[in-house]
Amino acid sequence: MTVPRYETPAPLAAAPRMLALDIGGGTQDALLWDPTDTVENAVKLVLPSPTRIVARRIETQTAAGRDIFLTGRLMGGGAVTQAVRRHLRAGLKVYAQPEPARTFHDNLAKLEGWGIILTEAPPPRTEAITLGDIDLPAWQRALAEFAVPLPQVFAVAVQDHGFSPEASNREHRFQHWQRFLAQGGELRQLAYRQPPGDLTRMAAVQAALPGALVMDTCAAGVWGALLDPQVQQHLDQGVVVVNMGNEHTFAVLVRQGIVWGIYEHHTGLLTPEKLADHLRRFQLGQLTHGEVFNDMGHGCCFRSDYPGLSQPFGTMVLTGPQRRLGAGLPAILAAPFGDMMLTGCFGLVAAAAQTGLTP
């Protein structure tokens, strides 16, 4: 009997052996992509997010009554920001180097108002805690335990609000999406070899992993969802891709690689009823930016030529760890290559293939 030769899926064929990391607020999802092996045999991991790992380390020191010194790099906030605030409320000191301190706010004067003490050198009798979205030694150790060599190529997705010391970071982040649509809305433009200068979290990732491809987690999730065969049948007519993350829900109107509209909200503020209403009006082009922003979301915007009510993008696609909120919606549940939690990672690999990422 002749065994058929394995062929790498076409959208991923040009990607080299690489480690793709999709770093969210709840989990960090990892895919070790090897074009010479089957997708089913790929090394895959779903682990706690760096923000949750660092938060637990801070909580340990809070419980022990020890002052802490924060070093390392800027990273995602969320759980780690909350842990720092709890540490301060417990009457304990938080010392921090300026760069990692920007994890909590870009305005360092405001952080000093919280009670954080900025210093480059660790004070005596403090416990050092290293911040950062990337812990390369940890990945080296983990893979080495299973005799898996660490790749030399990396693609990483993080959610970057951008440098915004005075204005609302929600507003600043959404201005990025508005500019993106105004410039044509090509999805491939969101895969960066050199990210825009104000995307400081992506810059911190590239400082840890020089040469890495970087994307926003929302964009990576959308790109990955489009790889699902069920979804690809509808790309010519246009689809609504809804990526429901642990912290953010992000939806796009996309057709043939062009994004026509963007909606972003905080997942924790959504109910199934609110989500269904927002998405229905989003498809019709009737949902407003002000309504979403005033509801403590990020916003909603459309290309000026989106047909809206006259030609809505009718097929809905759900992905993400909180997609249960959309369980009652008529939608395709995207799971590219059979693994919904790796949707963003597959999006990163496809973006690397299209942009020609090499060692």
Q: Domain residue spans in the chain?
A: 50-131, 229-334
Residues 6+ apart with CB under 8 A from 26: 48, 49, 52, 245, 246, 247, 321
Q: For 182, left (φ over 0), alpha (ψ -120 to 50), or beta? A: alpha
From the number of C-beta atoms within 10 Å of its C-beta (0-12, 13-18, 19+), residue 52 rates as buried
Determine the pLDDT at residue 1. Answer: 54
Taking the C-alpha atoms of residue 158 and residue 178, their distance in angstroms, rounded to an integer, is: 19
**357 bridge partner residues:** none
Closest CA to 251 of 232, 228, 270, 237: 270
pLDDT of residue 314: 86
pLDDT at position 359: 72
Q: Supply the pLDDT for residue 358.
A: 76
Q: Is the pLDDT of residue 4 over 60?
A: no
User: Amino acid identity, residue 316?
Assistant: M
Per-residue pLDDT band at 2 (split at 50, 70, 90): low
What stretches of 42-170 adopt beta strand conformation (E)?
43-48, 68-72, 94-96, 116-118, 127-131, 154-158
Q: Compute the distance between CA of residue 27 and CA of residue 162 in angstroms, rounded to an integer.
A: 21
> Could you confirm whether domain 229-334 is CATH 3.30.420.40?
yes
Cα 49-225-14 angle, rounded to 5 deg: 90
pLDDT tens readout for residues 201-255: 999 999 999 999 999 999 999 999 999 999 999 988 899 999 999 999 999 999 9
Q: What integer pLDDT is reported at residue 240 of this predicted model?
A: 96
The token pair at 324 is 């249960």
Pick the more confident residue, 57 or 171. Answer: 57
Query: How far is CA 3 from each of CA 6, 7, 8, 39, 42, rounded to the nearest angstrom?
Result: 9, 12, 16, 17, 20
Q: State how far the alpha carbon of 278 is from the alpha carbons of 148, 286, 288, 324, in Å.
A: 45, 9, 10, 16
Whether residue 45 has pLDDT greater than 60: yes
pTM of the model: 0.94
Predicted local distance difference test score (pLDDT) of residue 243 = 94
E strand or H helix that includes residue 332: strand 331-333
